[in-house]
Amino acid sequence: MTDNAPLRAHEHREHAEHAAKEKDMFISLVSITIAILAVIASVAGSLEMIEVSQVITLSSEAVLRQDQATDAWSQYQANSIKKHVYDAAARMSSNAASSLSALARSQGAKQAEVRQRALLAEAERDHLMAESGRHEVNHRWLAAAASIAEIAIAISTVAIITRRKSFWLAAIGLGIISLSLLTGTYLV
């Protein structure tokens, strides 16, 4: 949500206070409903923004881990080439065969270490992407909760203008749905 939720909540509170001064019970009840819906929308919007920042952060860290894995696999390939060159040279040279074979074994040992590093980076990448996906799902549910609460506020306003109880009840129903989405996001 790009607008200022605390400012909207303050405006809704002012409308509720104004309605309370009129001593119209229906208007007062709808105004209280609007204030509650504004709180739900504000909380859902704030949590949505937190989830979006988590998605961005975790995705960026996953890209970094992928880069680290790519670098490690490139190093693994370079070590493999060096190992094969040393093996070939050892087979061709009888004088330096033992030292070249030792270098080939050394490259093989380096390969094993680099391979582990690459696999670890890939595992971390996969974990970060899974976490990012979880936060993306939370973001979507919270966005829906905030949007439904905002729609409920608009319908409540229509209830005040038309003085029709059916609009108010519809807004309450949407508010319950919004609150269910908000709380359900973190219970699943």
For 24, which DSSP code? Answer: -
Q: How far is CA 39 from CA 66, 80, 108, 133, 142, in A?
A: 40, 61, 62, 27, 13
Distance of CA 153 to the CA centre of its chain: 27
pTM for the complete prediction?
0.71
Q: Per-residue confidence of the chain (188 residues) as pLDDT tens digits? A: 456 766 766 676 666 666 556 678 999 999 999 999 999 999 999 999 999 999 999 999 999 999 999 999 999 999 888 888 888 888 887 787 888 888 888 888 889 899 999 999 999 999 999 999 999 999 999 999 999 999 999 999 999 999 999 999 999 999 999 999 999 999 86
Three-state secondary structure call for residue 134:
helix
The residue to which tokens 């309370």 are assigned: 20
Q: Are 159 and 165 in contact (CB under 8 A)?
A: yes
Domain residue ranges of the chain, discontinuous segments joined by +: 5-187
| H-helix segments, 93-164 | 97-162
